[in-house]
Amino acid sequence: MIEALSTAIEFRSAESGNHVRRIHDITRYLLLHTELGAGLSAEEIEQIALASIMHDIGKIAVPDAILNKPGKLTAEEYDVMKSHTVQGAKLLEKIPQLRENGAYHYARDIALHHHERYDGRGYPEGLQGDEISIWAQIVSLADAYDALSCKRVYKDAFPREKVLEMIRTGQCGIFNPKMLECFFAVEPELSKLYKAGEL
């Protein structure tokens, strides 16, 4: 069910298919190989990784003209784009079969909160600090890392050094300092996986 829904996103946006697979793998790696996964069972980690592929499911409700616009979005278009968080949570709530899946709780939370920011300047609810679940925070960081590292319809890929600088200096949002410490500790391995085509 979850894989089928994530496949639907691929038909809307050229980069989403590979993007969601990389988000899954980055999320899983961070949970398995850093202390961010402390206290979580192996089953919970797999459920969170699976749930992470649903983070952008709400983009199904965003018009193509906005979703695939090659240039900068207007303020009004950006508001529509931001609505994918709330739309994603609503969509997941409306699928009875999904509620029986162990990943549902994580998927809904991630879809709704993966654009929240540690300093409270994210959306849609302006959560801050530990008000944001660790899995939503991890997907947020994985999403930023992948978006900066890859070509999109609206931008080229940034060099790895620039990606790391932007994340470190908060140019793409403020992240949990402890999470950043864990991320930078394993990023060389994540980078190798990208180069090897394994992510």
Q: Which residues contact 193 (CB under 8 A, 6 or more apart)?
A: 25, 29, 199
Distance CA 92, CA 79 (A): 21
For residue 41, give the amino acid letter: S
Helix axis angle, 104-113 relative to 134-149, nearest 10°?
Answer: 60
* Contact between 62 and 84 (Cβ < 8 Å): yes
178 is catalytic: no
Catalytic residue among 59, 94, 151, 162, which? 59
Catalytic residue annotation: 59
